[in-house]
Amino acid sequence: MKSPLLTISTDQPSSHCCFCSMQCGLEIIPSEKTSGLITKPSQNFPVATGRLCQKGLNALDHVFHAERILEPLARSANGSGRWQTVTWEHAYADIAMRIQSLQSEHGADAIGVYGGGSLTNEVCYLLGKFTRVALRSKYIDYNGRYCMSSAAAASNQAFGIDRGMTMPLSEIPNAKYLILAGTNIAECQPTMMPYLLEAKKKGAVIVTIDPRNTMTSKVADIHVRLQPGFDSVFINGLLHVMVEEKLVDERFIQERTSGFESLKEAVKPFTPGRVEELTGILEPVIRTIARGFAKAETGIVLTARGLEQQSNGVENTLNYINLSLVTGKIGRKGCGYGAVTGQANGQGGREHGQKADQLPGYRSIEDPAAREHVAGVWGIDPSELPGKGVSAYELLKKVDEGEIKALIVLGSNPLVSSPNNRMVERALQKLDLLVVVDMFETETARYAHYILPGSSFAEAEGTMTNLEGRVFHRQKAMELPGNSRLDYHILCELAEALGRGAYFQYAGIENVFRELAAATAGGKADYSGITYQRLQEEKGLFWPCPAPDHPGTPQLFADHFHHPDGRAKLFGIQPKMPAEPIDAEYPFVLTTGRLANHYLSGVQTRRTEALNKKAPVPVAEVHPWLAKRIGLGMDSKIRITSRRGSLVFEVKVTEGIQPRTVFVPFHWGDEHSINVLTNDALDPTSRMPEFKICAVQVERV
């Protein structure tokens, strides 16, 4: 139902869907049937081919929801713990006083900031600046650490730069062979499927690699049902065949890469026969895929969280990148590698200062030249900038250990999205101050001392960067309801209350972007040639775009990579065991993932009736072999137990899953939160938690 507090801001409002990284264009129009507003696909944004998925078609429901918070809320001072409405002035003054008191006693780093991957580039940028300039703390990270960090680290190691996709989506139909690993595009990025279907229509072979039969695998010519944890074993088998049968592109390897000898040695023991013994994937299948991809004129490899959310996620990703490099399928038409970004602004979110070790433009916070450049833009001395902090989960552990006394959370729900989340719950209860900027009382916000009502996607103008690396302008489509405020205003006003407002004076959001562009100049993710005017005229620009007359860079690596020698690096991967392998006590593998009906921790989609009624609770998927083994009956539920906890779920028996693997979606909190069970082991490089592999017991209830 339309809220009387929500009004359209223009005659023909348009926006972009707030959910996945496709960022489909949408128009907001009146509906006679509902006496409210609805969305329809926009034909003006080139990425989504004029379509919206079910989430996009229902994207306004949570914006109108009756539970939306429209006034600042504070915990009652009378000891009851109830929420009471306060003024913005009171909230800012009290929060600032508490922060200053804690920092006076415990130091600047007693305050932490936890951001999100769905915020605009401008808010991501300001959040990093706010932490380092207004709070002068080193502790900031964001939920994108749980999404793209392994792929980002691998791309930086292999290519010298991290942009999720090395080519635009429009190149997918030009590929003759596509390998999709650990990615369920049909449910996670549904409007990307037309690109794959167009390639298939043109004769492309599609291979999917996943422990489950998914909506995506239905369009595949070959589906490899691989048990989680065996990606690098399997890829070493493909690389072995390519090297043994001389199917590699020797000229490309010699002229444009380094490290091939190391790769050859690493894959030598992984004959197709041995890989079949280790994985159960038949030798003829291994040879067919290796030969098919290597011999194809063009080809693309796409990866996602299935192989990245592991304690060996960076190495897994590097091995898939190896496939593109040894066959020379990168930097030209119909070729490339892509890590399929999950969150709305997962790409931009990690470029502009939310990550613990980064400054805007993908600069390292430990690089003296980078510090000098960004400090100059911000008008401070480089020595005032703090050093690097820690990753998202480690930041929450710092809270549990008592080092961080106060936490500001913007655009995230870490209690649901973090692994081993009972530790997170314990940590939140220890905070002297928790401030959550959100539209709803999330599971995390239940432990807050303040909830500050922020803006929805429909009300906040700004820029986003989609999964291709395309930067585009999202206009304001609606007015703010009630007494809520724009997220960027909240940061600037809180900085003022902290006595640092002089560094946060902006006439409007476009001025924030201009400063962002200046801060990125000369960095890897260079936005300095991008302006609002250009974005509005050109329907987006691909970074790097280092000058006003630069056309942007849709296709990376046409003639060089971003290492100093211009070469890409190949890596010989020695597959490692998961952090928590199965054993006699915990003999099955739990893996988690998404559903088409929901998004992230479900804060928005669980409040969207049309989506929630399709999946009101999580359902565990098990193979008939496992169902028979535990004596599963018609109306039985199952209990899943890990070393961290035990939960009961409704169950679906399906042959479309690896027999020793149990799948549970992660969009719920409380008694349905699968992240009670997941393992908090981290990849040593990316600090990505191992969501996808957890040793469990399974029993009938």
Please, what are the domains in the chain? 73-146+347-542 (3.40.50.740), 149-339 (3.40.228.10), 588-700 (2.40.40.20)
pLDDT of residue 8: 55
Cα 87 from Cα 435, distance rounded (Å): 15
Residue-wise pLDDT for 510-529, tens only, equals: 999 999 999 999 999 999 99
- Comparing CA positions, the residue from 697, 420, 421 lying closest to residue 582 is 697
Cα 505 from Cα 239, distance rounded (Å): 54
Nearby residues of 159 by Cβ (< 8 Å), 6 or more positions away = 166, 321, 556, 557, 561, 562, 563, 568
Cα 556 from Cα 569, distance rounded (Å): 15
SS3 167: coil
Phi and psi, residue 631, nearest 5° = 70, 40
The answer to whether residue 313 scores a pLDDT higher than 50 is yes
Cβ 151 vs Cβ 308: under 8 Å: yes
pLDDT of residue 33: 63
Question: What is the gyration radius of the CA atoms in the chain, in angstroms?
Answer: 24
Cα 225 from Cα 223, distance rounded (Å): 6
Residue-wise pLDDT for 314-349, tens only, equals: 999 999 999 999 999 999 999 999 999 989 999 998
pLDDT of residue 2: 38
Residue-wise pLDDT for 251-300, tens only, equals: 999 999 999 999 999 999 999 999 999 999 999 999 999 999 999 999 99
pLDDT of residue 675: 97
Which two three-digit tokens encode residue 639? Answer: 């209990």
Mean pLDDT over residues 87-108, rounded?
Answer: 98
Residue-wise pLDDT for 596-630, tens only, equals: 999 999 999 999 999 999 999 999 999 999 999 99
Nearby residues of 261 by Cβ (< 8 Å), 6 or more positions away = none
SS3 72: coil
Cβ 404 vs Cβ 112: under 8 Å: yes
Query: Mind giving me the DSSP string for 568-603?
Result: EE---------SS---SSS-EEEEEE--TT--TTST
Mean pLDDT over residues 420-430, rounded?
Answer: 97
The answer to whether residue 588 scores a pLDDT higher than 90 is yes
Mean pLDDT over residues 77-94, rounded?
Answer: 89
The answer to whether residue 107 scores a pLDDT higher than 60 is yes
Cβ 699 vs Cβ 626: under 8 Å: no
Mean pLDDT over residues 43-47, rounded?
Answer: 89
User: What order do you get walking across the sheet with 73-75 strand by strand?
Assistant: 83-85, 73-75, 450-453, 433-438, 406-410, 111-115, 140-142
The answer to whether residue 476 scores a pLDDT higher than 50 is yes
pLDDT of residue 4: 37
Mean pLDDT over residues 645-664, rounded?
Answer: 96
Cα angle 565, 569, 293; round to 5: 130
Predicted model pTM: 0.95
Mean pLDDT over residues 155-165, rounded?
Answer: 97
Average pLDDT, the chain: 95
Nearby residues of 460 by Cβ (< 8 Å), 6 or more positions away = 120, 123, 474, 476, 486, 487, 488, 509
pLDDT of residue 76: 84
CA 666 to each of CA 18, 646, 674: distance values in angstroms, whole numbers, following the listed order? 19, 15, 6
Mean pLDDT over residues 37-45, rounded?
Answer: 91
Which pLDDT band holds residue 10 (cuts at 50, 70, 90)?
low
> Is the backbone peptide bond immediately before 575 cis, with ω within 30 degrees of 0?
no
Cα 311 from Cα 300, distance rounded (Å): 25
Residue-wise pLDDT for 346-369, tens only, equals: 999 899 999 999 999 999 999 999
Which pLDDT band holds residue 31 (cuts at 50, 70, 90)?
confident
Which residue, chain included where needed, has tokens 């609805």? 38
Mean pLDDT over residues 135-155, rounded?
Answer: 96
pLDDT of residue 11: 62
